[in-house]
Amino acid sequence: MKQGFTRRQFGLVSLAVTTALPGFSIAGTGDASGYAHPHLLVEPGELIGALPPAETSRPMLDSEGIVLVDVRPRKAFDAGHIRGARHLDPNAVVAAHSPVGGSLRSISEIEEILSELGVATDRRIIFYDDRGGFHAARMFWLLEYLGHQNVALLNGGLTAWQAVDGPVTQMAEGHDSATFQAAPSPRRFATAEFVLDHGADPGHVLIDVRPTGIYDKGHIPWAVSIPWARNLAGDKRFLPADDLRTQFEARGVTPDRSVTMHCENGLASAHSYVALRLLGYPRVRVYHRSWAEWGSDPSLPKAVS
């Protein structure tokens, strides 16, 4: 993104692109699932329709304004990936040396990574993995936090892609880079101080998305337990809206409240962030340093079940 763009200008351009990409339906097939924001998911059949024939010489997806990113280990990518996908290691954005496991790199370092991937204001970025979005969701949240609003997940990832006979290849294509400049949005990001300050706020709810057994061994006292894996059906696709909404509202997570979620180190919490964004919850953020930070700080309150 060029110097001089404000966050509002960035968002307006992204919104325009979201509704005007040629040759690719970005509204998704979410009508049947009832999501408030179905465009945040891309169905495998839609993406197949955006792939040019295998014999074409032009780079896959480029003319459609799409950057498809495979967020799996390099070995898995080399063994077979969606044609036209660019590779990003699952831990590429994680700081190599930090007292808090899973902490993000500096924003300037992440800007370099995203620029190399080709992330630009006028491009739609679609992430996928083979774990139901476990790794891809962190990148979804991270891009929204850093100001890129035209981002989506491939629903069901590579598993769903292969289930509909989507083509895979072992050949990696070259791709262009871009200039990405972050415009961080504080309303998407929470710190330990924010979580502590809102512990008694009736208009705020904190979700611990870790497995119940781990939650029971130690958690933030006012956090409610809603494991992230419950967002998915057996085929690793997101549940329909009614099912997602029911599980959250049953624990007091309603759209009128602001919502923060955490996990162990910022991965799984981003998955539930995506789920609530799909449902249209307006105030959702991730406490990225999560239990890795909170659990190791003796000054912060903790509880067991």
Q: Indicate whether 230 belongs to any domain.
A: yes
Q: Give the pLDDT confidence of 17-42 residue by residue, as tens digits.
A: 333 333 344 444 435 579 999 999 99
Structural domain that includes position 285: 186-294
Q: Indicate whether 123 belongs to any domain.
A: yes
* CA–CA separation, 235 and 23 (whole Å): 28
**pLDDT at res. 60:** 54
* CA–CA separation, 10 and 124 (whole Å): 13
Domain identity same for 231 and 158: no
Q: Give the pLDDT confidence of 87-111 residue by residue, as tens digits.
A: 999 999 999 888 898 899 999 999 9
Q: Give the pLDDT confidence of 180-225 residue by residue, as tens digits.
A: 999 999 999 999 999 999 999 999 999 999 999 999 999 999 999 9
Q: Give the pLDDT confidence of 118-128 residue by residue, as tens digits.
A: 999 899 999 99
Strand partners, 82: 168
Q: Which helix (H) or strand (E) holds 128?
A: strand 124-128
**Model-level pTM greater than 0.85?**
yes
Domain identity same for 215 and 263: yes
Choose one of 139, 169, 199: the last residue of a domain. 169
60: left (phi over 0), alpha (psi -120 to 50) or beta: beta
Domain identity same for 18 and 135: yes
- Average pLDDT rounded to a whole number, residues 5-16: 37
Give the tokens for residue 225: 């337990």
Q: Indicate whether 18 belongs to any domain.
A: yes
Q: How confident is the model at residue 273 (pLDDT cuts 50, 70, 90)?
A: very high
Q: How confident is the model at residue 228 (pLDDT cuts 50, 70, 90)?
A: very high
Choose one of 136, 169, 202: the last residue of a domain. 169
Looking at the structure of the chain, the number of domains it has is 2
The residue with tokens 């791709």 is 175
Domain identity same for 138 and 252: no
Q: Indicate whether 302 belongs to any domain.
A: no
